Structure 1
């Protein structure tokens, strides 16, 4: 089998095509799966990304030499057929399909299977080799339906409003914030966004994504309105003077890591909402099964456990050592003991997720 993609010091490299996928060091040609900072770096000479992600990538990286490719459209480069397919992670996120001499590889980037209305839904792509993320690649990670989480957030907001306290919800500015906004009940009160979130909201709106009306805190002059509002802010705002203007407030954090009690304690917030833009364990297994791939290469996350499990299911599996991280403030992410204690459950096998 041809090694169509390998790991070099610069990143994931396609030798026949002479380009990289989400490289972490400057290269001449880079295909970018999405605009989170661990996958999209500054300094490449040429960028190729999904057309839906061009605006967000330029907003984050500045003036770059970038080409947008519509989902599903093919491009031939040095004999390699390239196409990009929805990953369902954030606006413009894509899986990279490579076909060369009859062999098909797909690099997933980051992905989730549950459609959320703020980006094009995940699309399974058949292939021989699937390079998959494993951010939440342990059987303990199983997400509630997002609508249930939205209802919990709206109930929390309503209770705070009744008690005369501002609701401050910390979450990642790009992707998570817009997804939460999409699920908020704007009839409860005003929605206030930190400047880092508001700038990205506009890019989403320009892309045709419907979000409820939002305000900056400086636009609110009546303190009683602020006491009934929900504030969407990045985690860094919690340690800044900006947060002091809300007085007595109730705070919460939204992340997949909130499933772990230790993460909630370290955050020191009133509430933790388990909402992730990455696939959970059943989602990862379902995605792998849908590709039909006989070979799976696991990247960033719980690599050893997931590789071992896939091998037990009869797949050829291995791992790539990459420099990708977790966009949800990885310094705060607790270490989880890698174990196969619960992977013997047959319902977790690919095809049974």
Structure 2
């Protein structure tokens, strides 16, 4: 029996003909990286290949690495295997990895979303035979409200807090979510302050996106300066000594997990805004249908439920274990996510 084009190993997803890994979670010689989140781009590989927009991101996060950047749709061949990167829409520089060998095409999505957030290159469906998909939010209960409506609600929340003389503290992952929020915060309401983790990453991305001005919170920042303004911070800052200087403040979190009624209460957050950088249920199904793929591999999220549904719809669907999926829960902390 011939080996599949992509295999799931203890180091990561492996393309044996090319001797290359996709988003490996253990150190390898050659890795193709889908995007910059810490669960997909790890330290220790001898060579990294990724989209050129992701180069400054992973260089910032991982330090001095041997990395090559390529453009969207630009083919590169390794041992007669043809690879190309295509927009995943997840965060800036996020890619799907297309792999072609002997008339067989596989696509590995990494993480992806189909809603155009206005800062990431929008998701592009790619025809293939086998589609490796995440299903972080692979339940019918997950149905996202359009981004414009959510962001309008966030600005209204900020304005209401300002009217009460309180600081608004908004939590979002330091890479991706924070910049998505920042892009659309209404600077006419007040000033935008940032935690060091978010400020550092935003500085890396400013050459790529026109963001509003921000003000880094330092040990010299006074509480009176923050009143009525908004603070962007990573979830890891919640409950830390760093946040105490914000009093009186109101907290909110922007995450797909806020769709669960108990999530906000468990995290002791005052307000939850449902905003995810992943597909909802319908987004996943529409993406899979658009590929024309017959074989679907579900890698992280609600894998069992989602793959069972796909089999009921006539797909050849199965699950595979990986070490992806932690970034929404902040269980992997990047190097820059420390108190300033």
Q: CA deviation at 1:116?
A: 0.9
Look up the SS of the partner of 2:252 in the other structure: strand
CA distance in 2, matches of 1:36, 1:15: 25
Q: CA deviation at 1:6?
A: 0.8
> Does structure 1 residue 134 correspond to structure 2 residue 135?
yes
CA contact (8 A) 2:39 2:327 kept: yes
CA distance in 1, matches of 2:11, 2:215: 41
RMSD: 1.5
TM-score (norm 2): 0.94
Unaligned runs of 5+ in 2: 333-340
CA distance in 1, matches of 2:330, 2:300: 12
Deviations 1:252-271 (A, max 9, x none): 11110000012111111110
> Does structure 1 residue 16 correspond to structure 2 residue 25?
no
Which sits farther off after the overlay, 220-229 or 30-39? Answer: 220-229
Equivalent residue, structure 2, for 1:350: none
Which sits farther off after the overlay, 121-130 or 211-220? Answer: 211-220
CA distance in 1, matches of 2:213, 2:223: 19
Equivalent residue, structure 2, for 1:48: 49
CA distance in 2, matches of 1:260, 1:61: 33
Deviations 1:168-198 (A, max 9, x none): 0111111000000112111000000101000
> Does structure 1 residue 241 correspond to structure 2 residue 241?
yes
Q: CA deviation at 1:300?
A: 0.6
Equivalent residue, structure 2, for 1:154: 155
Equivalent residue, structure 1, for 2:265: 265
Q: CA deviation at 1:323?
A: 1.1
Deviations 1:197-237 (A, max 9, x none): 00111111122x11111101249867554211000001111
Equivalent residue, structure 2, for 1:76: 77
Q: CA deviation at 1:330?
A: 5.3
CA distance in 1, matches of 2:121, 2:281: 21
Higher relative contact order structure (alpha carbons within 8 Å, sequence separation ≥ 6): 2
Equivalent residue, structure 1, for 2:337: none
Deviations 1:29-64 (A, max 9, x none): 111101111111111111010111000010000000
CA distance in 1, matches of 2:263, 2:331: 11
Equivalent residue, structure 2, for 1:284: 284
Look up the SS of the partner of 1:35 in the other structure: coil
